[in-house]
Amino acid sequence: MTLRPSRRSLRQCSDAGFTLIEVLVSLVLLALLLALLAGGLRYARSTWDATARLDELAAADMAETFLRARLAEAMPLYEQRKAGTVRALFQGEVDSMSFVAPAPNGPAGAGLYRYTLEAGAGMSGRRALTVMLAPHLPLVSDAALKRPPERYELMRDIRSVSFRYFGRGDLRSEPTWHATWLRTDALPNLVEIVIARDERDGGPIALTIGLPLQAGVR
């Protein structure tokens, strides 16, 4: 004798839980929601990466514009040392460079500033191209009255920065590239700045910038 469940018993089973069709429909809907969520996360990540990339490109362009503008106005100024010697206000090393140029809106207002470029620790923990900026006050002898330099980040996430200098090593030599600038009576005619970066950060940058105010200097 075969026992068949009555309609009442089937109705009781369906009321007590989900039917197989309801479970399948729920699984399908859950899979669709997960797919939509994953797609939304991928889109948000790609949008974030694109925005970060644009920010890096904008920062690199701004840094290049800053360097070209300030070096183009580097002034052949001189200072007298305690020994009575005179030295140009320009220091060129392999990994740093210092010069004097005007700034229309520096920390202390418009005027002449001493710029020092080098690679230093950035806010992100990685190295950054930084500039130290201090007013050039040659007539102020009291160090307490001179404003301390302020440090700014020009470009983040770099590996290193190196400088080269083009010009005459002395009055009788032909112009050539130098790893350091040793002349104390003149500035170089050109400065090359090479910024090493990883490909994911935009790759290396090489700039060659002329110092037009040196046109009359031999």
Q: pLDDT tens digits for 113-158?
A: 999 999 988 776 778 999 999 998 876 655 555 667 889 888 888 9
Domain count, the chain: 1
Tell me, yes or no, whether 77 lies in a domain. Answer: yes
Q: Please give the structure tokens belonging to residue 76.
A: 């052949």
DSSP-based three-state secondary structure for 205: strand
Tell me, yes or no, whether 203 lies in a domain. Answer: yes
Which one has a higher pLDDT value, 205 or 37? 205
- At residue 48, the pLDDT reads 45
- At residue 44, the pLDDT reads 46
- At residue 14, the pLDDT reads 47
Tell me, yes or no, whether 142 lies in a domain. Answer: yes
User: d(Cα 38, Cα 44) in Å, to the nearest integer?
Assistant: 10
Tell me, yes or no, whether 25 lies in a domain. Answer: no
Instruction: Say if CB 159 and CB 169 are below 8 A apart.
Output: no
pLDDT tens digits, one per residue of 46-61: 444 444 444 555 667 8
Tell me, yes or no, whether 1 lies in a domain. Answer: no
Tell me, yes or no, whether 12 lies in a domain. Answer: no
- At residue 193, the pLDDT reads 96
The span from the first CA to the last CA of the chain, in angstroms, equals 119
- At residue 50, the pLDDT reads 43
User: d(Cα 82, Cα 77) in Å, to the nearest integer?
Assistant: 17
pLDDT surpassing 50 at residue 72: yes
- At residue 143, the pLDDT reads 56
pLDDT surpassing 80 at residue 12: no
The sign of the dihedral angle between the CA atoms of 57, 58, 64, 67 is: negative
pLDDT surpassing 70 at residue 6: no
Instruction: Name the percent of the chain lying above pLDDT 70.
Output: 72
Question: What is the extent of the structural domain holding 96?
Answer: 53-214
Average pLDDT, the chain: 79
pLDDT surpassing 50 at residue 168: yes
Tell me, yes or no, whether 199 lies in a domain. Answer: yes
Instruction: Compute CA distances 203 → 11, 150, 185, 194, whole Å.
Output: 69, 28, 36, 11
- At residue 70, the pLDDT reads 92
Tell me, yes or no, whether 208 lies in a domain. Answer: yes
Q: State pTM to two decimals.
A: 0.70
